[in-house]
Each structure stands twice: as C-alpha cells, then as structure tokens.
C-alpha cells in the first residue's frame, strides 16, 4: 500500500434500509437532495440529504443502486427511525417497500491518508469476493475512505484479509478524531434538524442545484442564487484541560458575554481538544478565540471555516 497509513474499523451504521419496487427510483429521486441519475455508472453510489420543506436537514444517506428497482440506503449516524419515518411520511400511492436491515448488516470502514490504486483494488476485490457492497466514503484532499456493507461474520473475514496485507484495526473513537482533524461534518451530530446544508458546506457534494423537484429544492435554489446563510460550521481547538467528556452534547460558546454558537462534536485529551462548532457569522468577524463561559478566558481557537473550505 505504498507508504500510506491505513486503518480499518468494524462497526454498525445507524441506519440501513432497502428500498425496492417499480417506483423505488422515482420515489427516492423525488425526496433526495442529490441527483440519482448516473447513466454512465452501472451501480452508482450517491451521498445526499433528506430535507424538510424549509430546507432543514433531517438525515443523510448513501444510496447504493443495486438494480433499477432495488436500492440500499446507509447512514453512519442518522437513526433508522428518522430516515424510515421521513420516507414513510411521504409514501402515498408509490409501489415501494422499505425494509429495515440495520440489525442484519454491519459496516467495515477503511481509511488512509491518501489514495492508492492498489488499496482501492484490494478493497473492491475483497468486497466482490464476499458479495458485499463497497463504495468510497467521505474523504478530503488529504485522505480517502472506503465502506463495505455486509453481515458481521462476512466483514470479520474481510478484516482478517486486510490485516494480512498489513492494514491495522482501529476504533470508532480514532475514526471520530480523524474525522474532526479533516473537518468532515456528521449528520445529524454537526448538522441536523434546525440547520441548512449550506451552513456546514454540505451543499458542495450533497445538493444538486440542477435536478428536478424534491423536498426542500425551492429553498436550496433560493439560497444558491439570492441569499446567504447567517451561520457557518467551524473547526475549533483548545490547549487547556476541560472537565467535559468526549461526546456530542452541544456546548455553548461565547464572545465576551454573548453566546455566539455551540460546539457540536468534539474529542478531548489531558492537554486540550478539537471539535466542530456552529457559529454566527457576524459575531465572529475579526475574532480569533472564544470562551466556554460568559466573559471567560478566550481559549477556543477558530481554526478553519468549513464552508469556505
């Protein structure tokens, strides 16, 4: 695998659904924020969002097309009850069957600090041999990731094969830390109900501005052509010890005595921490550091605006 650092983690997705039936494609296309038509690809995998009528994020999914009438929907963190409930609420006369497969299928995630063709071919080959679904997950300019979906025993066998090639096991906690370092938002932990895709930079790869109607499409077009958002997701860090434990509970952040946003997902250590925070744009203009409490010490550094890249 050249000189890359490569790891894997065996875990479970928060939601795995199958959508089958003669109306499956047209129904999903009418609900999903991204374009599902990819005639040049045999079995396309598309990442996108489920929005409400105000354009607010309800959940996300990778949609894997297995055949013209068969799809798998996978979300790392959006609960299956939310994804299925959102879709059920919009099923009217459509010939579509939604089946919850979350307990039946697990997820093996592989990530590296760069792209390697031989690694991609290895993962694809192992998945094909096991009759598993595989696709490239979230990445950045400095990293790549792959996902493999199959029953747990099948993934355990693939994990052993990966270890034979020198790929080391890791943990969900390490995967979380890597995601935060790269500044990759999670739905709904970093951007969820109450948030717009544009506030987290998710519109760059999860919203198709040139497709037909879908729920939230009018708002997406308006924001794209006429308006701007008032909040942005930031990568932040601090070098002081805090008593908070790792988690996803929102932590308010302040400029002087004014609350300007909240810390969403974060990890901490004995000497500091790293996280993603949703902040009001006007309130942080010219600001370099925030506080955990009103008029508290300014210890939370603004590292990178994830909307601006």
Q: Does one domain contain both 170 and 279?
A: no
Residues 236-263: tens digit of each pLDDT = 999 987 766 555 578 999 999 999 999 9
**CA–CA dist 30, 292 (Å, integer):** 42
Q: How many CB atoms lie within 10 A of CB 205?
A: 13
Same domain, 40 and 170: yes
Query: Can you give the CATH number for the domain in which 260 is found?
Result: 2.40.30
Q: Are residues 237 and 176 in the same domain?
A: no
CATH code of 19's domain:
3.30.1360.120
Residue 170 shares a structural domain with residue 94: yes
CA distances from 292 to 190, 251, 274 (A): 18, 8, 13
Residue 18 placed within a domain: yes
Q: Looking at the structure, tell me whether residues 21 and 161 fall in a common domain.
A: yes
| The 168-169 sheet, strands edge to edge | 133-136, 144-150, 106-112, 6-11, 168-169
**Is 116 domain-assigned?**
yes
Q: What is the pLDDT of residues 82-137, one digit of tens each?
A: 999 999 999 999 999 999 999 999 999 999 988 889 999 999 999 999 999 999 99
Give the domain extent around 14.
Answer: 6-181
Residues 166, 238: one domain? Answer: no
Contact status, residue 49 vs residue 33, Cβ threshold 8 Å: yes
For 205-246, how does the pLDDT look when each residue is reduced to its tens digit (9 = 90+)?
999 999 989 999 999 999 999 878 999 999 999 998 776 655
Task: Please check whether residues 234 and 154 belong to one and the same domain.
Answer: no
Q: Would 220 be classed as within a structural domain? A: no
Residue 293 included in any domain: yes
Quick one: what percent of the chain has pLDDT higher than 90? 84
Asked whether residue 187 is assigned to any structural domain, the reply reads no
User: Does one domain contain both 26 and 153?
Assistant: yes
Do 112 and 15 share a structural domain?
Answer: yes
Looking at the structure of the chain, the number of domains it has is 2
- My answer on whether 272 and 144 are in the same domain is no
Whether residue 186 lies inside any domain: the answer is no
DSSP-derived secondary structure letter, 143: B
In a domain, 211, yes or no: no
pTM, two decimal places: 0.94
- Among residues 112, 146, 181, the one where a domain terminates is 181
């Amino acid at each position: 695998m050249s000189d890359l650092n490569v790891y894997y983690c065996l875990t479970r997705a928060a939601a795995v659904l199958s959508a089958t039936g003669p109306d499956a494609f047209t129904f999903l296309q009418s609900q999903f924020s991204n374009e599902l038509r990819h005639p040049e690809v045999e079995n396309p995998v598309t990442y996108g969002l489920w929005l409400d009528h105000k354009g607010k994020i309800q959940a996300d999914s990778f949609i894997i097309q297995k055949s013209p009438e068969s799809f798998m929907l996978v979300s790392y963190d959006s609960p299956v009850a939310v994804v299925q409930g959102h879709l059920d609420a919009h099923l009217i006369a459509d010939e579509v069957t939604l089946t919850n497969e979350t307990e039946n299928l697990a997820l093996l995630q592989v990530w590296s600090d760069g792209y390697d063709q031989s690694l991609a071919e290895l993962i694809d080959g192992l998945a094909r041999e096991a009759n598993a679904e595989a696709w490239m997950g979230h990445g950045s300019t400095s990293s790549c990731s792959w996902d493999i979906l199959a029953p747990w025993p099948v993934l355990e066998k693939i994990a052993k094969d990966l270890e034979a090639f020198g790929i080391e096991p890791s943990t969900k906690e390490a995967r979380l830390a890597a995601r935060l370092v790269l500044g990759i938002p999670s739905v709904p932990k970093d951007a969820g109900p109450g948030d717009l895709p544009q506030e987290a930079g998710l519109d760059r790869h999860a919203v198709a501005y040139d497709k037909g109607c879908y729920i939230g499409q009018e708002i997406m077009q308006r924001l794209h052509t006429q308006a701007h958002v008032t909040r942005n997701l930031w990568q932040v860090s601090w070098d002081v010890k805090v008593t908070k434990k790792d988690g996803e509970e929102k932590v308010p952040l302040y400029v002087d005595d004014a609350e300007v946003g909240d810390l969403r997902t974060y990890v901490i250590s004995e000497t500091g921490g790293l996280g993603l925070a949703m902040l009001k744009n006007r309130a942080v203009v010219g600001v370099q550091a925030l506080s955990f409490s009103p008029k508290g010490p300014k210890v939370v550094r603004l590292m990178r605006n994830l909307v601006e890249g």
